[in-house]
């Protein structure tokens, strides 16, 4: 919210250059944004395609794919050459895998882009079962906003030899982050599976059924501060943004390879809401989309709409996203296998 307000103040002062033209052979009249999940799904979906069943009945998120895609559809065309009509098209299934496959078959002329999940990128990079190999060849246009998460724990469970952490299923962020803290940093988490939504985790935390929950959106942590944290009921024992930090107790020092794996895991913070285009899109067309996303972030109408819709709008540049994806696709084999195990798969 603060970032949006700051952009709103800057919007009238900016003199923005014209966006790059579409490929010279044509200007598209319409653009479809393929959305990898259904309207009620957030970005804590299983990264492992064969665990896609866990995606049903997930959290009702603060920021959903539906909200974000509809927001982009309302504003992206205003800054693209020719002002094409833009619409969102939901293609749920396979935890985003079906949309990724559809994207790999689309024409690279600017008529189709996709709002995907970071988990699709990690699934391909870690060579998980059923991953879509063509993701490595997608053209990345940037990301709508970075994201961050925390691991919360009841204060009364601090110091116990076993701390029960709730999980939304193999491949969910709640599961992956809890496993990372346990396996890489020695945190005494015991994973308690079977939960299907963040609402269930809230109830389990408040009744003492579990002691901790990870992968918790920072926006929700901030909203619950007076209810949980200021009253001493809960503590945030770790945060995941561009690095895992902020331990409330003595922080164990990971080995060099474990630290490297945690660093790779934290790249997800800037890959949380990525926009992709089909393989083969020209740099001119890709730049038109990337520049349009940047212009939206300084447009008063778009900023006010984002604030009403609850959409975080703080674009991550296409260059940053592409650099992160390139790093993930070329991981050393040892680090790849460590991370694959976190996602519930044995690396090849």
Number of residues in the chain = 348
Q: Would you state the pLDDT for residue 243?
A: 56
Q: How far is CA 347 from CA 265, 313, 337, 340, in A?
A: 16, 35, 5, 5
For 113-162, what is each residue's pLDDT tens digit? 999 989 889 999 999 888 888 999 999 999 999 988 899 999 999 999 99
Give the pLDDT band of residue 19 (cuts 50, 70, 90).
very low
Helix (H) and strand (E) counts in the chain: 12, 11
The structural domains of the chain, ordered by start, are 2-147+272-342 (3.40.190.150), 149-265 (3.40.190.10)
pTM: 0.82
Task: Please state, in angstroms and rounded to a whole number, the distance separating the CA atoms of residues 95 and 344.
Answer: 15
For 55-109, what is each residue's pLDDT tens digit? 333 333 345 888 999 999 999 999 999 999 999 999 988 778 899 999 999 999 9
Q: Name the more confident of 88 and 219.
A: 88
Token pair for 35: 């959305």
Angle at 242 between CA 239 and CA 246, to 5 degrees: 30
Q: Would you state the pLDDT for residue 93?
A: 80
Q: Name the more confident of 272 and 275.
A: 275
Strand partners of residue 153? 212, 235
């Amino acid at each position: 919210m603060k970032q949006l307000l700051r952009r709103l103040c800057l919007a009238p002062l900016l003199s923005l250059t014209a966006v790059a033209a579409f490929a010279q052979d044509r200007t598209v009249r319409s653009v479809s944004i393929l959305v990898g999940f259904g309207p009620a799904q957030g970005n804590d979906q299983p990264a492992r395609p064969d665990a896609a069943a866990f995606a049903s009945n997930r959290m009702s998120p603060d920021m959903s794919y539906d909200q974000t895609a509809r927001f982009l559809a309302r504003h992206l065309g205003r800054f693209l050459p020719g002002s094409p009509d833009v619409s969102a098209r939901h293609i749920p299934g396979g935890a985003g895998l079906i949309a990724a496959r559809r994207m790999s078959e689309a024409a690279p002329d600017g008529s189709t882009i996709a709002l995907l999940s970071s988990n699709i990128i990690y699934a391909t990079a870690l060579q998980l079962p059923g991953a879509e190999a063509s993701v490595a060849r997608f053209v990345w246009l940037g990301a709508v906003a970075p994201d961050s998460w925390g691991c919360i724990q009841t204060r009364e469970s601090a110091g116990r030899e076993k701390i029960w952490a709730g999980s939304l299923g193999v491949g969910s962020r709640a599961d992956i982050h809890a496993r990372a803290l346990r396996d890489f940093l020695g945190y005494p988490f015991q994973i308690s599976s079977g939960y299907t939504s963040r609402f269930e985790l809230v109830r389990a935390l408040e009744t003492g059924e579990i002691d901790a929950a990870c992968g918790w959106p920072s926006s929700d942590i901030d909203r619950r501060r007076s209810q949980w944290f200021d009253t001493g009921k809960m503590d945030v024992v770790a945060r995941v943004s561009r690095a895992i930090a902020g331990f409330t107790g003595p922080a164990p020092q990971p080995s060099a390879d474990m630290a490297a794996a945690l660093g790779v895991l934290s790249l997800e913070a800037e890959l949380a809401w990525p926009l992709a285009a089909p393989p083969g899109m020209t740099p001119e067309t890709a730049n038109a989309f990337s520049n349009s996303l940047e212009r939206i972030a300084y447009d008063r109408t778009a900023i006010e709409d984002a604030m009403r819709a609850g959409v975080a709008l703080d674009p991550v540049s296409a260059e940053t996203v592409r650099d992160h994806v390139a790093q993930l696709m070329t991981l050393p084999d040892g680090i790849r296998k460590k991370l694959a195990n976190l996602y519930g798969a044995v690396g090849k």
